[in-house]
A and B are shown apart, each in its own frame.
Chain A
Amino acid sequence: MAEKMTGAEMVIQALTDQGVEHIFGYPGGAALPIYDAMFQQDFVKHILVRHEQGATHMAEGYARSTGKPGVVLVTSGPGATNAVTGLTDALLDSIPLVCITAQVPTTLIGTDAFQECDTVGITRSCTKHNYLVKSIEDLPRILHEAFLIATTGRPGPVVIDIPKDIQFAVGEYFRPEAETLRHQSYRPQVDGDLAAIETAIDLMLKAERPIFYTGGGVINAGPEASENLRELAELTGFPVTSTLMGLGAFPASNPQWMGMLGMHGTYEANMAMHDCDVMINIGARFDDRITGRIDAFSPNSTKIHVDIDPASINKVVQVHVPIIGDCNRVLEEMIRIWRSRTNAPRTEAIAGWWTQIQKWRDVGSLNFKNSDTVIKPQWAIQRLYEATRKQSKEVFITTEVGQHQMWAAQHFHFDQPNHWMTSGGLGTMGYGLPAAVGVQVAHPDALVIDIAGEASVQMTMQELSTAVQYRLPVKIFILNNERMGMVRQWQDLLHGSRYAHSYSESLPDFVKLAEAYGAKGIKCDTPAELDAAIADMLDHDGPVLFDVLVEKDENCLPMIPSGKPHNEIILPDTANIGDIIDEKGRQLV
């Protein structure tokens, strides 16, 4: 049932047909026809951001907390280039985004026109796929294909660059059938190879020191995947650890939970990864923050790797049993085959392993020395966590990037998937505030908190204005140490404590800043007053900027230093971290 309409109307119609209720964007000359079409309807609601990077992070927060694609609309030139950071962030963390960029009219492309840039050229390497629409006949197919590509297989960002004359052109709109839409060359493999899954179960049935190493792929495979992971863990009795991106897929309150692994992961998780005999990687990609030194990474284990992206297999670590497929489908099969072999978990066979794990747990790698006089950042997060547990509302956490992010991952505990939004792969400072805004748009009644640092939050501070405009009651919990804490820590580790530009000078008065934006500002620098101040923040019905003045030179530990294997992790009682990394390790990031 083709219908005649303009390109701009097609954009809005396609969004409506895709069930997109919210888009994040910023208008400009080349995008005006689409904005005009949007003005004349009610279904698609537009959130006006203050900077296009904010729009992309909002869409990421929206997508990650709902499982639906996030949609961004920006203008040509600077609108598109400002979106690049968020697109790259979404690519590295496999977040489904559809970003519509306006372009100068086709007749002006290549003439260095006002607000022209080579958007498809610039975004080619930071998107899963991108399109330049050159004909109105192609537009309906491209719009729907973009959603298919963004959301299926390994999810990611897709850019559609639409020149202004195409937005004005009239053509026939149609919604392609899923089958005809399916790109001939684009067929992600979702069902894992059965023989490989059986081999994996055979190995798991003989394992004496097994570990599940799970990642963001479990979250991306939908809530059923998390349910199935829980079931498989219960059936097998194996310990579970997760990457930063996978937190929440397995409940932190479960006794089989080992905490996060990797550079700032727990001692028990990292030691278990190093010493295991069977590693079951589900939806993680052996990132360098996880593996540490590759040639000493889990040297004696047989490795099973479940991933929907064939390019992730054997990219970094050579595995014995690769299984290409959707985490949820593979987990379902694993459960079915395990059940067909046995009804009991391997409790006895792995009892010795659990005894060893308990010894590692007893080390208490997340411990820290608390203080009566100064607020410790870890303690602030623990108090925030305790306060939120008493809330009847659903709680979502976003973070910026740095020490506070790692402390949040260590000390804020998640029992549900899709409730933890953080920039893992790209490590984008400034992600958390706009991501929180995006989460709050999707979940207006929830409690959404951005655990932030004073340096990161200033990178996208302006989005507080967006929160105020749309009455989005996000809470920005700033752990303010007047340092770029992680940079400072690395300068201690690697550069003789020469703190080149890693301190925050001329900080704004965050309370006054909040008030200037029309939000509430709170400041706290005394441990005894923290609980009351947190309660004050949570009780306020509106956006809050909470400035928590914390210990300035706290190190984020435990830590696996660059170039070291998992079993050479630095524990919290280490006095001088400056002597640990050797010359070669210094060259690594």
Chain B
Amino acid sequence: MNAHLQPTGSAYFLTQETQLSERHTLSVLVDNEPGILARVVGLFSARGFNIESLTVSETEHDKRLSRITVVVIATPKVLVQIKAQLERLVPVHRVHDLTAEGAYLERELALIKVNGTGDHRAETLRLADAFRAQIVDATVESFVFEVTGKPSKIDSFIALMQPLGLVEVVRTGLAAINRGPEGM
């Protein structure tokens, strides 16, 4: 049994961290009350955890519940701490590590402004069609596209728009849900 004992990190750990960092998507069910976002974000900064992406919105109005989707990159040991520390916050109901718990869906929405005339404009439209991007605003010299999908798809679309007159991008951050019949 002693063989299981792994050295762990702390202020007093003088050697290098041996565990590799992983990217995990957490879904956090919280009471939608003033200051809840500050509590969650403050916890991450106070304990030195990094946030890659954060999305928050009310999901059940009657029960005043919000769902926070947060993407973190951390070692397995730190991930356990992040989950335990989040669950310790009084307004937090549940924390699910979607990455660890099986198959799940990830989606993000982006609004992308592209300027262009002539051939560029036609090429822009062809690519938008291929990515199923919707035109939500248009002028004779610009488009605003709405595109949803996995972050990697949005990354690709933005990369393609770069030489065609990309002006600016806004992204919502990640929303995620597990597959199958079970709810959170």
Query: What residues of A have a CB within 8 angstroms of the CB of B14 in the complex?
Result: 293, 295, 563, 584
Contact pick for A288, options B7, B12, B46, B81, CB 8 Å:
B12
Interface string of A84-127 (1 = CB under 8 A from B): 00000000000000000000000000000000000011001100
Identify which of residues 315-334 in chain A touch chain B, using a CB-to-CB cut-off of 8 Å.
Answer: 315-318, 320
Return the chain B residue nearest A184 by Cβ: B93
Interface residue? A465 (CB, 8 A): no
Interface residue? A588 (CB, 8 A): yes
What is the bound-complex CA distance between A317 and B7, given in angstroms? 7
With A125-B42, A294-B8, A317-B8 in contact, is A302–B2 under 8 Å at CB? yes
A interface majority secondary structure: loop
What is the bound-complex CA distance between A320 and B77, given in angstroms? 14
Query: What residues of A have a CB within 8 angstroms of the CB of B38 in the complex?
Result: 121, 124
Interface contacts (Cβ under 8 Å), in number, total 83
Asked if A185 and B30 sit within 8 Å, CB to CB, the answer is: yes
Asked if B31 and A185 sit within 8 Å, CB to CB, the answer is: yes
Identify which of residues 155-190 in chain A touch chain B, using a CB-to-CB cut-off of 8 Å.
Answer: 183-186
Asked if B31 and A588 sit within 8 Å, CB to CB, the answer is: no
Return the chain A residue nearest B8 by Cβ: A318
Interface residue? B126 (CB, 8 A): no
Interface size on A, residues (CB 8 A): 39
Query: What residues of B have a CB within 8 angstroms of the CB of A129 in the complex?
Result: 90
With A185-B31, A302-B1 in contact, is A291–B12 under 8 Å at CB? yes
What is the bound-complex CA distance between A292 and B13, given in angstroms? 9
What is the bound-complex CA distance between A398 and B77, given in angstroms? 37
With A124-B35, A185-B90, A185-B91 in contact, is A318–B6 under 8 Å at CB? yes
List residues of chain B with CB under 8 Å of any chain A CB.
1-2, 4-15, 30-31, 34-35, 38-39, 42, 46, 77, 80-81, 84-85, 87-88, 90-93
List residues of chain A with CB under 8 Å of any chain B CB.
120-121, 124-125, 128-129, 132, 134, 149, 183-186, 288, 291-295, 299-303, 309-311, 313-318, 320, 562-563, 584, 588-589
Give 6 nearest A-B pairs by CB, closest first: A311-B84, A295-B7, A185-B93, A129-B90, A316-B10, A294-B13
A sample of 25 cross-chain residue pairs with beta-carbon separation below 8 angstroms, ordered by A number, consists of A124-B35, A124-B38, A124-B42, A125-B42, A132-B34, A184-B93, A185-B31, A185-B92, A288-B12, A293-B12, A294-B9, A294-B12, A295-B14, A300-B2, A301-B2, A302-B1, A310-B87, A311-B85, A313-B84, A314-B77, A314-B80, A316-B10, A318-B5, A320-B1, A563-B14
